[in-house]
Amino acid sequence: MALELWHIGVPVTEKRPGMSYAEDMKLWLSVPEENEYLFEWLKFEEGGPFPEVMHRTPHVAYRTEDAQPYIDAADSVVFDTGIGEDGSRMTFVFKDGILLELFQAAKA
């Protein structure tokens, strides 16, 4: 079990070129793999599912095969999708004052 750096999420107040809209999340976002710094620009819209703290706090995102041990070790859970039917999960936690995204990919 290990963490693999995925991207750095950066909230912005203005839409940036290349962003796409995720209607179910009420969120504009960019593709982090399209820039060398792995920045994922995020512009949150009102009424989305994400807590306000995520609208203004950058995060470091990791992929992992099993997010649960990292969730258990976190100081607090900010947002958690729970485990989907396919085994995927997206959880945001605070650990040592840093907002982390833990992404557990779908099981093959």
Tokens representing 75? 């100081």
Query: What does each C-alpha distance from 51 to 21, 25, 39, 57 come to in angstroms?
Result: 18, 12, 20, 11
Q: What is the pLDDT along the chain (108 residues), one digit of tens a residue?
A: 699 999 999 999 999 999 999 999 999 999 999 989 999 999 999 999 999 999 999 999 999 999 999 999 999 999 999 988 898 999 999 999 999 999 998 887
Residues 101/9, Cβ–Cβ less than 8 Å: yes
Q: Enter the pTM of the model.
A: 0.92
Q: What pLDDT was estimated at residue 107?
A: 80
Query: What does each C-alpha distance from 68 to 13, 14, 54, 83 come to in angstroms?
Result: 32, 34, 20, 10
CATH H superfamily, domain 4-104: 2,3-Dihydroxybiphenyl 1,2-Dioxygenase, domain 1 (3.10.180.10)
Residues facing 59 on adjacent strands: 9, 99
Domain ranges of the chain: 4-104
